[in-house]
Structure 1
Amino acid sequence: MGQKRSPLGVGDLERVAARGWRALEEADLGGWLLRAGGGFTGRANSVLVVGDPGMPLPAAVEAVTRWYAERGLRPCAQLPGVQSRAAAAAFAAAGWERDEDVLVLTAPVAATPATSVPVELAAEPDDAWLAGYRHRGAALPPVARQVLTSAEGAVFASVRLDDGPLAAVARGVLTDGWLGVTALTVAEEHRRRGLGTAVMAALQRWAAERGAHSVYLQVTAGNAAARALYRRSGFIEHHRYHYRRPPA
């Protein structure tokens, strides 16, 4: 079991999460973090709005817009917690549209006993793992493998129950004692069989062995089933964030 630590603030935890899901290109805009990852995932292709951009907010919005336009990407801003309200208002004034809330949930790492579900852990995602993880229901683009493996300390969990496709997959990453769980996907025909719980337990055992003390994950506000599962597993809401983008 990892040691207990004082809780991190919103900005600090978001920076930990940013290191756990690295973009392929990153640049600072004052205290903000510009990220580009070939368009795969909002987290790897948005500016993390934490701290002071070092210029008036309308000018920062324009700078963000130019940076993404230069890379052929739709501009996007990730706006966490109440500290980003002023920046959110500046993006809204520029016509940027708001997505739904995403909840960041945290819990102490629990080194639970192994279950009867066989969970394999690997340092790299193989083709079967990539096929098992469908981002927002779609097949992954070629750049996905680069984004998934860009952070240090990542591990890829999988559950194979037969000779067919993987039944469940997930990605874990350890950053400063925090386990970040992402890409948790259970095949529709294998749901409600405890596979998600087994994968979470395996990742937490892996992290606890390496001194982790806490775990975080993200879930959309509208995903009631996942929120209920995580609540039963002891997760509590740390903060929320949302994305803003200019009209397509």
Structure 2
Amino acid sequence: MGQSRSPLGVADLERVATRGWRAPEEEPLGGWLLRAAGGFTGRANTALVTGDPGRPLPEAAEVVTAWYRARGLRPGVQLPGVQSRAAGAALAGLGWERSEDVLVLTAPLAPAPDGVPVDGVPVELAPSPGDDWLALYRADVDPGTARAVLARADRVVFAAVRPAPGGAPVAVARGVVTDDWLGVSAVTVAEAHRRRGVGTAVMGALTRWAVGQGAHWVYLQVSASNAPARALYRRAGYVEHHRYHYRWAP
């Protein structure tokens, strides 16, 4: 991967990412998108703020609040880039609480030669996440609720590294191709196996799979406070495209 500027702007890339992480329930609010998934992840349970909601911001906040309260969820919005500042300021004035920044990183994809092992680590690719895959990624969520989001895509794959055939995975990650973009998420490495190349191996396997699917670019999200992951992705050639944060109703 080499450093290069993404061909998409903030709003368009966020819409690609939303199609790659789809909530079971979605409803437009003007240029915003309301999303609900039983509370599994912020991205699938907040209103994506892109464009104009088609009504004054205080009224839009009331609609968002009522929509999420009706589903037993805390109302929240995802605010990407500078285009969402006006909405963020309006919600801050209403007492909505701000979360930390999340960085959206991108890089161009370079094809890897077929048949070459990824860092010598065998990586298993599956069309759906098994129970042990989910247990390593998020043991604290209902498997059915998680699968309703994770598997909701036409071109999606679940990578795992297993020290022994049939054994529990020590590293997992999810890849989804939307248009010509690979979205990488759920990258998780068991603590005892970190700094051994298994995380790099699953990333490499997803890259090769995505190139075979016709992808040319990759994006991923990482918390601003996750310095080790940010350093790893920077060394791999990822650059910051934009940032987003959430605001949650009081």
Output the TM-score relative to the length of structure 2: 0.93
Alpha-carbon separation, structure 1, partners of 2:140 and 2:192? 18
Any conservation in 2 of the 1:5–1:213 contact (CA below 8 Å)?
A: no
2:158 counterpart (156, 159, 163): 156
The letter of the residue matching 1:49 is: V
Cα offset for 1:164? 4.7
1:145 paired with 2:147, answer: yes
SS at match of 1:8: coil
Any conservation in 2 of the 1:129–1:158 contact (CA below 8 Å)?
A: yes
Q: 2:125 — aligned with what?
A: 121
1:218 counterpart (217, 221, 224): 221
Any conservation in 2 of the 1:111–1:201 contact (CA below 8 Å)?
A: no
Alpha-carbon separation, structure 2, partners of 1:164 and 1:201? 21
Runs of 4+ in 1 over 3 A off after TM superposition: none
Alpha-carbon separation, structure 1, partners of 2:156 and 2:22? 11
Pair 1:82–1:6, CA change in 2 (3 A) = closer
Q: 2:175 — aligned with what?
A: 172
Alpha-carbon separation, structure 2, partners of 1:217 and 1:79? 16
Report 1:47-58 matches (<5 A): 47-58=47-58
Any conservation in 2 of the 1:78–1:241 contact (CA below 8 Å)?
A: yes
Report 1:170-209 matches (<5 A): 170-209=173-212
Q: 1:26 — aligned with what?
A: 26
Task: Summarize deviations over 1:151-171 as a string: whole Å, max 9, x none.
Answer: 221110000013652110000
* Deviates further, 178-187 or 158-167: 158-167
Cα offset for 1:145? 1.3
Cα offset for 1:111? 2.4
Cα offset for 1:114? 2.8
Question: Alpha carbon RMSD of aligned pairs, Å?
Answer: 1.5
1:88 paired with 2:91, answer: no
How many corresponding residue pairs? 242
Alpha-carbon separation, structure 1, partners of 2:8 and 2:26? 23
Alpha-carbon separation, structure 1, partners of 2:30 and 2:67? 14
Alpha-carbon separation, structure 2, partners of 1:94 and 1:26? 24
SS at match of 2:205: helix
The letter of the residue matching 1:203 is: L
Any conservation in 2 of the 1:159–1:169 contact (CA below 8 Å)?
A: yes
1:227 paired with 2:230, answer: yes
Cα offset for 1:6? 6.3
**Long gaps (5+) in structure 1:** none
Alpha-carbon separation, structure 1, partners of 2:135 and 2:58? 41
Alpha-carbon separation, structure 1, partners of 2:216 and 2:56? 38
Pair 1:220–1:5, CA change in 2 (3 A) = closer
Alpha-carbon separation, structure 1, partners of 2:81 and 2:99? 14
Report 1:39-54 matches (<5 A): 39-54=39-54
Alpha-carbon separation, structure 2, partners of 1:214 and 1:10? 15
Q: 2:102 — aligned with what?
A: 102
Alpha-carbon separation, structure 1, partners of 2:102 and 2:141? 21
Output the TM-score relative to the length of structure 1: 0.94
Any conservation in 2 of the 1:114–1:201 contact (CA below 8 Å)?
A: no
